[in-house]
């Protein structure tokens, strides 16, 4: 009983001569083609022998005319298998098989509808790419890094599929066009075209894409079933979390926090969210609301509310941090225009620090290494009390 062996294909099916030459070489190693797929070919392992392989194209998918099959059979060629419009014939070397005469110009005409179809698919995928990477960022004022760090694994996987579809279509157009040009010039397919370089490139690209796809799919399912992106109540102990607490800014004696309730799943006046994406392996967002009380000896009276928002990122690449910080600042309180100059402060402990005073508090933006923080505080405490806390917390995510 023969043993089945699977091999990567040597690149595009439109490189007909390369595929024929590769199949000839496989036969010399005792591997005989049984079935051809999109990325892999299935071989039967047997005693090695010299074989010739020829690939014929059909107008319709998976169909070859009886006339074409009889023409090959009459000249000693055996029909083996097909993959889409490509049909494989074989013949042992010792048979001295007669070549089937194909007029290159007629073969070129056969390629015309495939070229048009590939061009249409390319234009569609380009339109989708344009919508995602040009139109949408334009509407969100070119916040490219912000889009990337907030893109879920599932969204990233869908984007990868669209990009790969576009790239595949682009190369398909190139290969069909090149083959068609040669045929129109009267040049026949080179049945002994070198295949090793194409094979190595094909293995490398296919392996990378398969590995990347598996990784993204695994991360997508992990993120769906591990509870990330769920709102939770901020715990009392946040020393290991890269968020600043309201009680760290305000006077603990005058701050009245909403206590954690066992009857509610989430305390919405004291909540946080943890999310992981490919470009931001760690992202915290938190919200706290507290009442500041005055104390005229015995009677506590509410003076004002204090509100604290944290938005914290640990980005994948350090080069993204300052760009992200500036985009977050532009997305600030009044959706600042591109010609507005950010109020940057110099600080030896931070890569970049922006302090924006608002009508009722401060917006503070800081980055160090891979860590990026935006802290929005509404209250009456001084900003100099918040900045040291930011330095302390950002060190947890800077590496």
Q: What is the distance between the alpha carbons of residues 61 and 132, in angstroms, rounded to a whole number?
A: 32
Task: Tell me how far apart the alpha carbons of residues 370 and 394 are, in angstroms, rounded to a whole number.
Answer: 9
DSSP state string for 298-328: T--EEEEEEEEEEEEEE-SSGGGHHHHHHHH
What is the spatial distance between Cα 181 and Cα 288, in angstroms, rounded to a whole number? 67
In angstroms, rounded to a whole number, what is the distance separating the alpha carbons of residues 362 and 367? 17
d(CA 353, CA 342): 10
How confident is the model over 173-187, as pLDDT tens digits? 888 888 888 888 888
CA distance 266 to 288: 12
pTM of the full structure = 0.70
User: pLDDT above 70 covers what percent of the chain?
Assistant: 87
If you average pLDDT over residues 75-91, what whole number do you get?
88
Tens-place pLDDT, residues 366-396: 999 999 999 999 988 899 999 999 999 999 9
């Amino acid at each position: 009983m023969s043993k089945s062996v699977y091999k990567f294909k040597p690149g595009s099916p439109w490189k007909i001569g390369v595929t024929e030459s590769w199949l000839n070489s496989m036969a010399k190693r005792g591997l005989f083609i049984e079935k051809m797929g999109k990325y892999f070919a299935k071989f039967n392992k047997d005693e090695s022998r010299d074989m010739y392989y020829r690939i014929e194209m059909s107008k319709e998918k998976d169909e070859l005319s009886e006339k074409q099959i009889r023409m090959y059979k009459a000249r000693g060629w055996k029909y083996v298998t097909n993959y889409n419009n490509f049909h494989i014939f074989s013949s042992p070397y010792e048979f001295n098989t007669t070549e089937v005469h194909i007029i290159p110009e007629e073969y070129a005409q056969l390629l015309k509808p495939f070229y048009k179809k590939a061009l249409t698919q390319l234009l569609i995928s380009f339109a989708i790419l344009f919508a995602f990477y040009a139109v949408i960022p334009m509407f969100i004022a070119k916040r490219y890094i912000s889009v990337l760090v907030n893109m879920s694994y599932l969204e990233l996987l869908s984007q990868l599929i669209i990009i790969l579809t576009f790239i595949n279509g682009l190369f398909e157009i190139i290969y069909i066009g090149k083959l068609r040009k040669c045929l129109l010039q009267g040049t026949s397919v080179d049945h002994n075209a070198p295949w090793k370089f194409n094979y190595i490139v094909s293995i490398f690209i296919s392996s990378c894409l398969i590995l990347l796809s598996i990784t993204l799919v695994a991360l997508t399912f992990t993120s769906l079933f591990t509870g990330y992106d769920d709102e939770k109540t901020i715990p009392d102990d946040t020393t290991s979390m890269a968020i600043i607490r309201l009680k760290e800014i305000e006077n603990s004696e005058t701050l009245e926090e909403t206590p954690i309730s066992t009857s509610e799943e989430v305390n919405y006046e004291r909540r946080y969210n943890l999310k992981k994406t490919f470009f931001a392996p760690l992202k915290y967002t938190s919200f706290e609301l507290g009442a500041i009380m005055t104390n005229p000896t015995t009677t506590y009276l509410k003076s004002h509310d204090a509100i604290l928002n944290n938005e914290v990122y640990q980005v994948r690449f350090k080069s993204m941090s300052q760009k992200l910080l500036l985009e977050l600042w532009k997305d600030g309180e009044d959706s600042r225009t591109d010609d507005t100059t950010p109020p940057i402060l110099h600080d030896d402990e931070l890569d970049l620090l922006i302090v924006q005073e608002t009508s009722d508090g401060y917006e503070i933006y800081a980055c160090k290494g891979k860590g990026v923080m935006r802290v929005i505080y509404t209250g009456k405490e001084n900003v100099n009390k918040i900045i040291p806390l930011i330095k302390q917390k950002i060190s947890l995510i800077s590496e």
